[in-house]
Amino acid sequence: MLIFKVRLDLSLVINRLVRFDLREYNSTEPILFIEATDPDGACFKAIFNLIQIILKQDDSIESRLLCRSIREDIRVIKVSCQ
């Protein structure tokens, strides 16, 4: 397993997530360190972890639909191996 530095762009979705405690995702361009075997897996884990944080706080139908809609608006800016 390698450690990847993943930079996301949440500028399109951050306003819809103000009611959640997003921890390390609480900015428009968070930088995350993700352990994965390849860059695609690191990008998937970065987005999956954000969705898990949201669903652990509120597991309602509304939150599930929100997660489905924001998945398409989250952009990976850069991935590099550390």
pLDDT of residue 40: 96
pLDDT of residue 82: 73
Say if residues 53 and 23 touch (Cβ distance below 8 Å).
yes
pLDDT of residue 70: 94
pLDDT of residue 27: 93
N- to C-terminal Cα separation, the chain? 11
Copy the structure tokens of residue 56.
């652990």
pLDDT of residue 9: 97
Q: Give the residues of the chain that fall short of pLDDT 50.
A: none
**Most distant pair of Cα atoms in the chain: their distance:** 38
pLDDT of residue 4: 97
pLDDT of residue 39: 96
